[in-house]
A and B are shown apart, each in its own frame.
Chain A
Amino acid sequence: MDGIVAKEIKKNFSKKTVLENINLQIKPGKIYGLLGRNGAGKSTLLSIIANRIFPNEGNVTLDGSTVFENDEALGKIYLMSERNLYSNSSKLRQLLNTTELLYGDFDYNYAQKLANIFELDLNQKFGKLSTGYRTIFKLIISLCVPVKYVFLDEPVLGLDANHRELFYRELVDNYVKTGKTFVISTHLIEEIANSLEHVFVIRDGKVIVDGDVEDVLENAYLISGPAKEVEQYTVGLNVIGQETLGNIQGNYVFGELDGERILPDTVTVEKMDLQKLFINLTNARGQLK
């Protein structure tokens, strides 16, 4: 099968189940979003895909062959994680050299250009960098490393608004120029939402949404108006959240509306954006039928 396929991934830490049964496919040449709240299991899943840890059950394949203990497949994957695996005593330039040695064809000119844009001095030691600059350095490697699949776990951690803006620009630019696949895991959705083509939403170790952003949002509605009418109109629909202000109520519906029902004059139907949908799907009350 084309791309990266995770099949029936289960993972426990001690006795706690972190991933229950994950199935997903990452096809080449798209920007994916892996969304979920803190602790939903995003980082664990990415660590399994990049073979940093092993799952209790299940397998991950790249173009049909397993990625576990497979140099060829692992050489096509780069995971930029929150956890720093680079040695603190290494100079940044040295780390770039190591990346080139082990991955091949590293785009030095681009790395230097990015370092200039972000005002990062490559002659420093990794351990001396602030959280934000560690993120920036790892992002630079992610953009310059010659792999087909780039996984970014919380890519804007510690970045200020200016640097975030620069990163989003470079991300899209790099994507268009290289055709790489990006999988971006984050709980800060608003800024990245429109860059995504496909989203996975993870909750409690399960994938609860898997679809193209447009298709997903196609059936995400906010029905608002007087409480009684709104309740009547949305009864039996998949209501994933609710907002009330005095007598006015808004019901968030994820799924098709009933075309047979008559919409009262007092009730309005709007579309939800990704951020709202995500919040409603992943908060304590949100339920998916």
Chain B
Amino acid sequence: MRFNFNSSEPIYLQVAQQIQDAIFTKTYAEGEQIPSTTEISRDFHINPATVLKGMNLLVADGLIEKKRGIGMFVVEGAQGKIVEKRREFFYQDEVVKLISEAKKLQISQEELVDLIKRGF
């Protein structure tokens, strides 16, 4: 995990983002335990309440779950959920932006497809 403490994004969002990234890249496989709040707090000097807030976001998203007395585990199917979410995000954010920029540059649909094929 790596945190950019100079970033203006709130730390708890960064915590959630980092764990999500790790699940996405299968650093934490489905069904596996993720580091505890304490471990993350200690290693990155983040207030435990902040870390917990970030984790709770992921619990709410159904990506991790709490097993009493043991810790937090990656939910089965979490990775798939993240991929799905990112695909949606990819379209909303990247593709729409790409097309709008292309239109400004007067690149036609065919030309854009060609460009994508070239870069692929």
Query: Are these two chains actual partners, yes or no?
Result: yes
Interface residues of A (CB under 8 A from B): 30-31, 168-169, 172-173, 175-176, 190-197, 213-214, 217, 222, 270-273
Q: Which of A190, A194, A273 is close to B47, meaning CB atoms less than 8 Å apart? A: A194
> Which A residues lie within 8 Å of B49 (CB)?
30, 197
Cβ–Cβ contact A194 & B38, under 8 A: no
A-B contact pairs, 20 of them (CB 8 A): A30-B49, A31-B47, A169-B45, A172-B46, A172-B47, A172-B48, A176-B48, A190-B5, A193-B5, A194-B5, A194-B45, A194-B46, A194-B50, A195-B47, A197-B47, A213-B47, A214-B12, A270-B8, A271-B10, A273-B8
B43 at the interface (CB under 8 A from A): yes
Q: Which of A173, A191, A193, A195 is close to B38, meaning CB atoms less than 8 Å apart? A: A173
CA distance A197 to B41 in the complex (A): 12
**CB of B5 to closest CB in A, whole Å:** 6
Interface residues of B (CB under 8 A from A): 5-6, 8-12, 37-38, 41-50
Cβ–Cβ contact A195 & B46, under 8 A: yes
Cβ–Cβ contact B5 & A169, under 8 A: no
**CB of B80 to closest CB in A, whole Å:** 31
Of all chain A residues, which has the CB nearest B11? A194
CA distance A265 to B72 in the complex (A): 43
> Which B residues lie within 8 Å of A270 (CB)?
8
CA distance A39 to B11 in the complex (A): 30
Cβ–Cβ contact B48 & A273, under 8 A: no
CA distance A173 to B46 in the complex (A): 11
CA distance A195 to B5 in the complex (A): 12
> Which A residues lie within 8 Å of B43 (CB)?
169
**CB of B1 to closest CB in A, whole Å:** 13
> Which A residues lie within 8 Å of B45 (CB)?
168-169, 172, 191-192, 194-195
